[in-house]
Structure 1
């Protein structure tokens, strides 16, 4: 089981790789706040893929309470707060890319996985052919992945 935040969902949707999530996790949960963030503007890139993924049962939307106080206490947005609350309550990893969200998760003892981790696992499992073009695509979308993280993933995948 994993709880997804909006950044990784959008990134995977834009790469047309949302299908990787249920291959690596028996259950994918998306807080209602995160789903709303991702789909409030259906014309935005990735939004339609996320809507379709929910309709096809790729993930389950879950309502979360207590997000306002948690967000204020940890200086997070509502979606990140909801994802971390749900991951904490379900004792499962959170799929989060945002640095602040990852830091708070670690402070709370919540295991964290990110978009790069999903892509690397998929590459090692033979589900995707190469990481480098995906990182190039993410960059072209304006999705920032630290250079050292890209190099480490490419090294682990045997691409450099």
Structure 2
């Protein structure tokens, strides 16, 4: 089990909507949410914020890397920018799915994981079945979570072939 993860809002909201925060608890001992991400989550009026913020592993933090934050604010969403700055500041794994934010994080040498990676790791560690992982992917897609055809195909291949590993050195295995 990895110690902690810094989370952006999209994956966290999807896991919350599934009422499956255990998927993160299975992998991490702490889930750190930047202040801006907490604000984004609380802006939703679907009850997910209270579920997430009440979870015992969730804590809220702010970055002190204000120069980096200002630089990232120019190209990324506010929550993504603070999540990346906080992950860089503490050299922690970043849970993020948005393509532009993932690219920025990889370019900075950060270790990242996305929602599909969370599902794969839960499957590989026998917390969920392959069928559960596929069902949850279908559920989040039905809720508006966007997944490219290539990424979904890659996910299915890795789900059915446990020997296949993530190729990026910046991605959590």
Please say whether Structure 1 and Structure 2 have the same fold, judged by a TM-score greater than 0.5.
yes
Q: Secondary structure at the match of 2:76?
A: coil
Partner of 1:122: 122
For residue 56 of structure 1, what is the aligned residue in structure 2? 55
5+ unaligned residues in a row in structure 2: which ranges?
162-173
TM-score, normalising length: structure 2: 0.81
Instruction: Output the aligned Cα RMSD.
Output: 1.8
Query: Structure 1 stretch 148-157 or stretch 112-121: which is displaced more?
Result: 148-157
Inter-CA distance 138–109: structure 2 relative to 1 (3 Å threshold): same
Task: Report runs of 4+ in structure 1 exceeding 4 Å deviation.
Answer: none
Q: TM-score, normalization: structure 1?
A: 0.87
Given that residues 30 and 59 in structure 1 are in contact (C-alpha distance below 8 angstroms), is that contact kept between their aligned partners in structure 2? yes
Residues 100-139 of structure 1: pairs in structure 2 closer than 5 A? 100-129=100-129, 130=131, 131-139=133-141
CA contact (8 A) 1:92 1:110 kept: yes
Write out per-residue CA displacement over residues 49-70 of structure 1, whole angstroms, 9 at most, x where no aligned residue.
3422322312111123427513
In the other structure, the counterpart of 2:154 is 152
Question: Aligned equivalents of 1:22 and 1:134: distance in 2?
Answer: 16
| Runs of 5+ unmatched residues, structure 1 | none
Describe the SS at the equivalent of 2:41: helix
Q: Name the count of aligned residue pairs.
A: 154
Alignment of 1:1-160 (within 5 A): 1-41=4-44, 43-44=45-46, 48-65=47-64, 66=66, 69-73=70-74, 75-129=75-129, 130=131, 131-158=133-160
Shift of 1:101: 0.3
